[in-house]
Structure 1
Amino acid sequence: MQATTTKPQRILVVTDDAVGSTMAGPAIRAWNIAKVLADAGHDVRLASTLRAEGSSPDFAICDGSPEFLPGLARGMDVIVTQGFTLKYRPWLADMGAKMVVDLYDPIHLETLEGEGDDGVDIHQSRVDNCLDALQVQMLAGDFFLCASPAQRQLWLGHLSALGRINVRTYAQDSSLEKLIAIAPFGISETPPQPLLPDGRHAIKGTVAGIEPDDTLLLWAGGVYNWFDPVTLVRAVAALAPEHPRLKLMFMGTKHPSLDDLSTTVLRQAVATAEQLGLLASRVFFREGWVPYEQRGAYLSDADIGVSTHFLHAETAFSFRTRMLDYLWAGLPMVGTEGDEFARLIAADGLGAVVPATDVPALTAALRRLLDDPAALAAAAEQVRRLAPDYYWRKALAPLVEYCADPYFAADRGHPSGVMGTAQRLGAGIDKRTAHLQEYLRVNGAGMLLRRAPRLAARRVAAIGRRLGGS
């Protein structure tokens, strides 16, 4: 898909994730969205509401904190958001820009698999928070992105339930491609740098206990509760007698945007490795988070990329970003069935797919690759063949095409469907409540009281316009 830019657009990309030398999936995606759109000739700014560091020759990196974000958003033609951005800053949708909502991450399903130690009610409140965020985004968006065909079906259901699939959007495009398009996570066209900046290997011969000629299984990314690292640790234990040089490293145990990543499954994996006598001798947990620009050196030291998970709703609609790193590095992959990448691995011969929580099956799959260098090489070749299909410029082609000639959704300003006027007005009240909370946090109650009469008059007028359908 090749898009021709009719005129450069002013585009703001906003993420709630930390942008800088260490970045997790949402920030990496936002960064590359900004780069691809800048490469297409647009004037792009990338803002983080959490932490913005570093620089890029292609786009501006900006502080998205409350005192700066309104100024950044003013006058933009297109605003690209993700996650919780609009829930806590709903006024972004009222700035006159076309709103692109990136739904690549099903946050509500991830939260169902999150920590539940605080009890059912608190856990449910976190899920409700995610559902609120999704509703605000889906009511405000003009164009939506998702990561896979399965996700598109999921989000079409959400959009339909909120009345966004209606006579106007259907008349605009009966395929609904103008409303929601598939734009998966991508990879760089520049190959990984095999060594650290100081010329050392990142893992082999550098990490105590991992020698240059060892065979390395690498788990890239975090260890969240929807993953199953324990089955993998047990498979390594089963292979240890016949493969004495086999090692396993978990690459990241401290998310750059979270204070703590001591998830239940991570604690279980460490405990299992210790019980089996493998900790720091066969199984290694790297503390911290690998700097974004150095992750290529870690991937280059690996022989096989691994990812094991449980089978549940999160799995069915996930798009594992760590698997893209394996693709980028040309690594054969071994993973669990049930997600989009399992389908790719099986269909394209990228490695092996195994049933969930099946230690013997995982052990056998790893053994087949470890004992057959030709099979391992063939899988690596298939990975290299597939990789160009996921270059960022190709993955984000639907977004580039949209931004070449952006448009408002056909139903913008026309409440319809099951939401009804009262429910849509209620959604607006939720937005205003979030705006009020942010205003109080920044300016204090005194300023609010001084401005209250004028603000009230504006709100009454806005409600009148909304009920009048203007």
Structure 2
Amino acid sequence: MTRILVFGFAPLPFEPYRTAGPSLRTWHFVSVLRAAGHDICLIANRIAGIYPEDLPNIVTAESEHLLYHNVHDVVWHDPRALRPLIHPFAPECALAITTPAAGIAAANIGSLPLWCDLYGSVMAEAQLKALLYADDRYLAHFWSFERHALERADKFSAVSERQAWSVVGELGIWGRLNQWTCGYPFVITIPIATEATPFTATGRCLRGVRIPEDAFLILYSGGYNTWTDVDTLFNALERVMSLSPKAHFVSTGGIIYGHDDFTYRRFESLIAESAYRERYHLCGWLEAQALINLYLESDVAVNTDRFAYETMLGSRTRILDWLRAGLPCVSSDLTELAQSVAAYGAGLTYPPGDAERLAECLLACAEPERNAQMRQNARRLLVERYTYQATSAELLAWVASPCRAPDVGKPMLRLVRPYRTLWVELGEMVRTRRLSLSLAVKLWAPVAAVLKTFGLGGLLRALARRGQRTLRFDISPYQVKWHVPEPPQSVRTAQAFTLDAQARNIGEALWLPVAQSSFGVNIAYRWAGNGQTTAWERLTLPQAVPPHRSIALSLSLRAPSKAGEYVLELDLVREGVTWFSQTGSGTLRLPISVTE
């Protein structure tokens, strides 16, 4: 048997905290290796926002074939703190579960053979994050993770066949498809997986408690990530509820702290204006058993993806839970997993962005006979293709005889260089007076070493908290300051009039008109009054507006057709991304009387 050092993420499924994709992927690998009799030392980084703040920096537990070190960020990024956990174990090889773990492993394992599990395409995820936060510097941060993996790992696994080929391309760019590795199988596919044991209910959460016993319950579970298409989801649910009085929607999960703080808030704001808002049930993050109970009392689960390479290269962990619960699911047709679900008759797929087709698929799952057949097929698909044991044969073969890649120690031609060096980022910090996340991670280890040298190690945790506040992801780059020098006091019904206004870009995002970008910025207005609110009307942004610049606008508006007291609301929207008001900017509201 082999002594295996694993770098992964926590919490694990047996802990009393909500789990996330990276921690479930960690448990997938660890549980298979334990079951095969290997000895495991797991160093797991705590996912932000889950554990109590007063937990010690290192919590260690030991069980059969598993030594488990649960560590805070201040330990995870400090080699001097990690090595005392590693050396007594005397590992024979190492596994890095998820791309961010690769850099941590590379800094701590010397010349041990390293398997890196690239749990989804981190660069495709970075593309979506850069869009959401209007900042391409996220690409450098994520690339630093990917580069460490490409440079150091001896074997790679991906969650889909598509991602596996993507990794092969990256290896070629980095110079590792060379004479020495010709014929060497660098990358294999290990789909996401789960345990085969069926879930068991312990009670009811909604059905017969807060909603009717015969309700048609649609479930969304998990985080609202950068790839989640909340607009298509909401529009489809509105149509379903208009056609089916029994339809209810329940959501578990929400904001992914430290990664995506915008998407869920946008969904909440859409629901707040729905005529059916009483049939939306937003439960937030739940304990494991409460979530299982909801799986088992729901009729169908839904997953909505926006079209993106992240989706096409990746997978969806939540779908595995639904299969385990025998729950039919409807998903966009972008992932390999969703296509397998449809092929097995365990659910349905829809074209991304097509709310009408998504609504049709959800309503089709309300048919009792069809729903029952999908439930049977879901369990069959899971057992045949997506259990831990069914996906791990090649991993077990490698750890039985771990070895370095054939090009280790050989002369290699580097085809690219890391342009984002420490000195480049330090210079950028001086120019912009902003500390990037990528640079903060690079500086952490030397800062920690200096503080410990002077006996100030106790300050590290406070410094980490301060850094998390400074580098907050929920500081919106979409900020506008409105100025209307002479707002009209009254207008006539249905009158076309011009409103002169000034909009100042006080955020960090460049505003591009829709003519220059698929995700361009539009001006929008609506009227609220007389017991109703009109739909948003779009107006074209006439030119690009850089950060900290202003634009003078002459807005052509039309008054409501009925007289009364109204509030004219002005907002900006980055199409396909977010409304400025939904990320903290605020809507301009002008009280105006509409007369006959």
TM-score normalized with structure 1 length: 0.81
Q: Which runs of 5+ in 1 are unaligned?
A: 1-7, 449-470
Pairing 1:329–2:325 present: yes
Q: Does 1:156 align with 2:168?
A: yes
2:91 maps to a residue whose letter is: M
- Residue 394 (structure 1) shift: 1.7
1:106 and 2:87 correspond? no
In 1, Cα distance between the equivalents of 2:200 and 2:149?
38
Letter in structure 2 aligned against 1:124: D
Task: Measure the CA separation in 2 of the matches of 1:378 and 1:362.
Answer: 20
Residue from 345, 350, 372 that aligns with 2:346: 350
**Is it true that 1:217 corresponds to 2:229 in the alignment?**
no
Deviations 1:230-250 (A, max 9, x none): 322222222224422211111
- SS of residue in 2 equivalent to 1:169: coil
Structure 1 residue 89: Cα displacement: 5.8
Aligned-residue offset at 1:60: 2.4
Within the candidate set 280, 283, 287, 1:286 is matched to: 283
- Whether 2:103 is the aligned partner of 1:87: answer yes
Q: In the alignment, what sits opposite 1:319?
A: 315
Q: Are 2:376 and 1:381 aligned?
A: yes
Structure 2 distance, partners of 1:166, 1:77, is 26
Taking a change above 3 Å as real, the CA distance of residues 423 and 245 of structure 1, as seen in their structure-2 partners, is: closer
**SS in structure 2 at match of 1:84:** helix
2:180 partner SS: helix
**Compared with structure 1, are the counterparts of its residues 150 and 238 closer, same or farther at alpha carbon in structure 2 (3 Å cutoff)?**
same
Give the match for residue 262 of structure 1: 261
Instruction: Supply the RMSD in Å over aligned alpha carbons.
Output: 3.0
**1:459 maps to what in 2?**
none
- Is the 1:91–1:435 Cα contact (8 Å) retained in structure 2? no
Unaligned runs of 5+ in 2: 52-57, 426-437, 456-596
Contact 1:23–1:291 (8 Å) recurs in 2: no
Residue type matched to 1:158 in 2? Answer: E
Shift in Å, 1:215: 1.9
Contact conserved, 1:310 with 1:356, CA < 8 A, in 2? yes
Aligned to 2:271: 273
Partner SS, residue 114 of structure 1: helix
Contact 2:121 2:313 (8 Å CA) reproduced: yes
Q: Is the radius of gyration larger for structure 1 or structure 2?
A: 2
What is the Cα deviation at residue 315 of structure 1? 1.6
- Which of 168, 190, 194 is the aligned partner of 1:187? 194
Q: Which amino acid aligns with 2:382?
A: A
The amino acid across from 2:265 in the alignment is R
How far the C-alpha of 1:16 sits from its partner, in A, is 4.6
Of all paired residues, the percent bearing the same amino acid is 22
Letter aligned with residue 252 of structure 2: M
Q: Is the 8 A contact 2:241 2:276 kept in 1?
A: no
Q: What's the secondary structure of 1:250's corresponding residue?
A: strand
Counterparts of 2:332 and 2:59, CA distance in 1: 36
Instruction: Provide the residue aligned with 1:32 in structure 2.
Output: 28
- Identify, as 1 or 2, the structure richer in strand: 2
What residue number does 2:577 align with? none
Whether 1:229 aligns to 2:225 is no
Q: CA deviation at 1:298?
A: 2.5
**Whole-angstrom CA distance in 2 between matches of 1:385 and 1:397:** 20
Secondary structure, aligned partner of 1:342: helix
Q: Which residue in 2 is equivalent to 1:73?
A: 86
Cα distance in 2 for residues equivalent to 1:37 and 1:46? 11
For 1:188, give the aligned amino acid.
E
**Which structure shows the higher helix fraction?**
1
The aligned counterpart of 1:125 is: 137
Q: 1:43 and 1:143, CA in 2 relative to 1: closer, same or farther beyond 3 A?
A: same
- Normalised by the size of structure 2, how large is the TM-score? 0.64
Between the two structures, name the one with larger relative contact order (CA 8 Å, sep ≥ 6). 1
- Alignment of structure 1 residues 9-24 onto 2, 5 Å: 9-19=2-12, 20=15, 21-24=17-20
Q: Evaluate the alpha carbon distance shift between residue 55 and residue 126 of structure 1 in structure 2; reply closer, same or farther with a 3 A threshold.
A: same
Inter-partner Cα distance in structure 2 for 1:126 and 1:106 = 14
- Report the number of matched residues: 417
Distance in 1 (CA, whole Å) between partners of 2:308 and 2:364 is 27
